[in-house]
C-alpha cells in the first residue's frame, strides 16, 4: 500500500503501510464517538498503528499502538506523513460537465 522508501521512518526497518481505515474512537473526557484514521504499519521490528484523532476541524492528535507506543507527537507526525498513502489525483478536482 505504501510507496515510502525503506528508511522513511527513523527507528524502523522496512516500514510500510498495510492499510488506512476509518474507525470510531472514544476518549475519557468526552461522551462523543469520533471518527479517526488508523494507519496500520508492518516493519522488521513488528506491527503497529498510528491513529489520527480529529477532535475538531482545526485540532487533531496522534496516538501510537504496537511499535509506535511511547513515541513523541513529533515523531508520530513524521512517521504518519512518510507512510500515509498518496493519491495521484486531487480529491477536490471537479469533473467537466457538458
**pLDDT for the residue 59:** 87
Residue pair 15/4 in contact (Cβ under 8 Å)? The answer is yes
**pLDDT for the residue 33:** 87
Q: Which of 10, 15, 77 is nearest to 46 (CA)?
A: 15
Cell of 60: 487533531
**pLDDT for the residue 32:** 84
Average pLDDT, whole number, for the chain?
A: 85
**pLDDT for the residue 86:** 80
Which pLDDT band, with edges at 50, 70 and 90, does 27 fall under? confident
Mean pLDDT of 73-89: 87
Amino acid at each position: 500500500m505504501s510507496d515510502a522508501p525503506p528508511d522513511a521512518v527513523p527507528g524502523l526497518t522496512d516500514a510500510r503501510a498495510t492499510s488506512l481505515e476509518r474507525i470510531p474512537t472514544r476518549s475519557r473526557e468526552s461522551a462523543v464517538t469520533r471518527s479517526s484514521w488508523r494507519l496500520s504499519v508492518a516493519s522488521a521490528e513488528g506491527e503497529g498503528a498510528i491513529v489520527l484523532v480529529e477532535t475538531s476541524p482545526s485540532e487533531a492528535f496522534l496516538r501510537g499502538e504496537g511499535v509506535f507506543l511511547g513515541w513523541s507527537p513529533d515523531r508520530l507526525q513524521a512517521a504518519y506523513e512518510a507512510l500515509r498513502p498518496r493519491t495521484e489525483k486531487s480529491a477536490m478536482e471537479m469533473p467537466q460537465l457538458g
